[in-house]
Amino acid sequence: MAIDFTMSAAQKAVQMKARLFSESVLASLSYDTDREPDLISAFVRRKPAYIEAYRQGLATAMLPSAYGGAGLSCLDFTIATEEIAAIDPGFACTVLCNGLGLMPIIWYGDDAQKCRFVGAATSDPNEQYLAAWTAAEPPAAMRAAASFDNPLSAAGIGLTATLHGDHYRLNGRKKWSSAAGWDGLGADSQIVIARTGDEIGWMRGLSAIVVERGTAGVSCGFPADQTDRTSTDALIEFDNAIVPAENLLRATESRGDLVINRNFSWFGPVAAIAAAGVARAAYEVALRFSRRDSGLSLPLINRVENVGYVLGDVAAKIESARYFAWRAADYLDKHDHHAEIFGAMCKINVTETMFDCVFKCMQIVGMHDGDTLHSFNRNLHDAALLPIFDGGNMAMQRRRVKGVLADESFNPRGAMDDESLYFSRPMEAAG
């Protein structure tokens, strides 16, 4: 039988490596830094764990071995991500954002750019390289944030990259860049989506360009309303920043909108499995609690029918979420990392379902769920954040799905039949 949900020996080794790292290295650091009130300090205190993840190849696991990465498939990387996210999804995000900041170079860069940028990421002598994905922008007077794909937006992305001889000059602002570096002065490199063409508004004229740390005219700050405790979502200012023309990913010229959609879809299964990891952590706490606590009754509460029913439902939903994430990741591996609809559907379905699972686990524990002995405060926060993270389920993700479904070429049995479903501009417009 061709369909087999059993991990290979190599995949089991990847899983156990990630689990051992998470439980022996990450867990104690995460517990201590959770009590750090300053968000930036909390992020920096995880640096020793990141260095160890880099040494073990986990921080660059998604990158091809030809350029120094571990060369894991999307499926293998998804398996590893669950183990990290079950302990600390914010740290998992830090690792995963290396993929967001480097995979577009693998897809669209020439060989010289791959060797230069990806090679630098995998051979950092300090073992602390951070790459960033910089696409979204803060809201302007007449438009909402992150609205490049919304036809009702008058301007879309406003950051401009104007060619002057052998360099581009970048002017504008970005928000929610996925990393600002360990010192707040910028990631080692970032993929920036900018308007390079003369076209004004919406999706037209967008391209991807690599901006390196230390570029003059680039400054980082941190929004006062940052909600993620374990990542540095930076506000980036570009003031006549001079970037070499050779840093432009030529294959993305005036196609940056498709880069955004592909990148967020690539991230879909790992965001989904991160949510499953969060729910798994909450479920295991609730299960242990039910085996030890009697509540106001004489028998342990796991003997109460409703408690057993709720825990059984949660366990089933986590299993189904895991398999959906595995399937979506496997689809990415088989279709040149294109899963614009499948990745989005996976991310939407799993992250929203897992939030409900965490809440139900809290109901099992009841009044004790706020105790620091348990992790529910953090679990609920992370579970609530994931549906609005990564393009937003009620924004870009569902618009993408709607656009694909509306296209005449869409085959509703395409995913079941394992067909390639490629995303196109007409689908974007339909969304």
Angstrom distance (rounded) from CA 250 to CA 299: 67
Residue 418 is predicted with a pLDDT of 87
Residue 192 sits in the same domain as residue 273: no
Bridge partners of residue 228, in order along the sequence = none
Residue 146 is assigned to a structural domain of this protein: yes
Q: Are strands 234-244 and 167-177 parallel, antiparallel or unpaired?
A: antiparallel
Residue 169 sits in the same domain as residue 231: yes
Residue 101 sits in the same domain as residue 245: no
Q: How many CB atoms lie within 10 A of CB 18?
A: 27
Phi then psi for residue 264, to 5 deg, are -65, -30
Residue 311 sits in the same domain as residue 271: yes
Residue 223 sits in the same domain as residue 287: no
3-state secondary structure at position 176:
strand
Per-chain mean pLDDT for the chain: 86
* Interval 316-335 mean pLDDT: 96
Instruction: Kindly report which listed range (194-208, 218-232, 313-327, 352-366) carries the lowest average pLDDT score.
Output: 218-232
Residue 55 is predicted with a pLDDT of 97
Residue 201 is predicted with a pLDDT of 57
Last residue of a domain, one of 254, 279, 302: 254
Provide the CATH number for the domain around residue 213.
2.40.110.10
pLDDT at 22 over 90: yes
Residue 136 sits in the same domain as residue 149: yes
Residue 224 sits in the same domain as residue 241: yes
pLDDT at 146 over 50: no
176 with 233: CB under 8 angstroms?
yes
Residue 4 is assigned to a structural domain of this protein: no
* Interval 328-342 mean pLDDT: 92
Residue 28 is assigned to a structural domain of this protein: yes
Residue 386 is assigned to a structural domain of this protein: yes
Residue 144 is predicted with a pLDDT of 47
Residue 25 is assigned to a structural domain of this protein: yes
Residue 305 is predicted with a pLDDT of 64
Angstrom distance (rounded) from CA 216 to CA 170: 11
Last residue of a domain, one of 97, 122, 147: 122
What's the pLDDT tens digit per position in 78-114? 999 999 999 999 899 999 989 999 999 999 999 999 9
Residue 2 is assigned to a structural domain of this protein: no
Residue 288 sits in the same domain as residue 250: no
Provide the CATH number for the domain around residue 42.
1.10.540.10
Residue 191 sits in the same domain as residue 104: no
Angstrom distance (rounded) from CA 130 to CA 126: 11
Residue 267 sits in the same domain as residue 412: yes
* Interval 277-302 mean pLDDT: 77
Residue 50 is assigned to a structural domain of this protein: yes
* Interval 205-216 mean pLDDT: 95
Residue 142 is predicted with a pLDDT of 40
Q: Which two tokens stand for residue 309?
A: 């029913």
pLDDT at 390 over 70: yes
3-state secondary structure at position 205:
coil
Higher pLDDT, 369 or 84: 84
Last residue of a domain, one of 254, 285, 305: 254
Residue 247 sits in the same domain as residue 283: no
Higher pLDDT, 86 or 421: 86
CA quadruple 184, 185, 189, 190: dihedral sign: positive
Enclosing domain of residue 97: 9-122
Q: How many CB atoms lie within 10 A of CB 90?
A: 22
What's the pLDDT tens digit per position in 26-61? 998 887 777 777 777 888 889 999 999 999 999 999
What's the pLDDT tens digit per position in 3-12? 788 899 999 9
Higher pLDDT, 29 or 63: 63
What pTM does this model have? 0.90
Look at the chain and report how many structural domains it folds into.
3
Higher pLDDT, 414 or 347: 347
Provide the CATH number for the domain around residue 392.
1.20.140.10
Residue 229 is predicted with a pLDDT of 53
Residue 85 sits in the same domain as residue 101: yes
Which of the four pLDDT bands, split at 50, 70 and 90, describes residue 427?
A: confident
Angstrom distance (rounded) from CA 308 to CA 357: 14
Instruction: Kindly report which listed range (177-191, 228-242, 277-291) carries the lowest average pLDDT score.
Output: 228-242
Higher pLDDT, 223 or 162: 162
